Amino acid sequence: MKILIMVDMEGISGITSSDQVNADSGRFYAEGRQYVTWETNACIDGCFAGGADEVIVRDAHMYGKNLLWEQLDPRAQYVVGQTGDIRLPDIESCDGVILLGYHAMAGTPGAVLEHTMSSAGWQKLKVNGTAFGEIGIDAAYAGEYGVPVILVSGDDKCCAEARSLIPGVLTAQVKEAYSLCGARLLSREAAHALIRRKSAEAAGRCLGQRPFSVAHPVTITLEVTERSPLPSLRNRPYLRCIDGHTIEVTADSFVDAFWKILL
């Protein structure tokens, strides 16, 4: 059994501010890197305890250079840095995906560091009329390859979003969000124990999970923030301009629609 762990930072235990996830923030970012490395190792350990034979980890926050390589569990393999149009590495050969340290979608009241893809540029994303964040994006992307998302971790708002969207998914709540930059945290030991236990449970039931899917054809609607320019439509005839802040695309698959709206 092969599991892909997609690692973001905003939903990691101990992280409550943008300084901890921004590479320009000095010691605060160094603190965030340590926290995400600890939690990634706890997740890996749980996956192997639950029966995984192979674990691949993608450092998926910003430029993909956040994990402390020298401290990582040697049993896993790691995808770091920019990956171009490879969003979920080796997804074709995976049995399950874990979304570790994820966050709620843009506009979620009171969620820690809520956003969708770009806090500066994206206001709202809809897939076939339903609001999606990064949880939905990656679940639908994996679902195109017949692979289920088996566990999502983050704050309470993130976990509630995952459960409302993905039937049967396990969640691991490591903090209760109070505001964009405030939360009530578990202790480090309790958070890591929870991640380890939930990862083992998710791996153990992985082969019985059904992938998340969206109806085809797939229409993605993107509303940008007030001061973000819309992309040029000159060489992108598949894009439709809905209004001064909104574009839309329809394609035969989610993956195709996602890359057409993104690139």
For the chain, domains (ranges, CATH) are 2-113+133-208 (3.40.50.10780)
Supply the pLDDT for residue 247. Answer: 93
Quote the pLDDT of residue 225: 86
Residues of the chain with pLDDT under 50: none
pLDDT at 109: 97
Which pLDDT does position 234 carry in this prediction? 78
Point out the catalytic residue in the list 61, 115, 216, 245. Answer: 115
- Spatial contact of 202 and 55, defined as CB atoms under 8 Å apart: no
| Token output for 88 | 């979920």
Q: Which amino acid is at 212?
A: F
Whether 216 is catalytic is no
Write the burial class of residue 98 (CB in 10 Å: 0-12 exposed, 13-18 middle, 19+ buried): buried
Threshold 0.75, pTM exceeds: yes
What confidence score (pLDDT) does residue 206 get?
94
The answer to whether residues 249 and 238 touch, using CB atoms and an 8 Å cutoff, is: yes
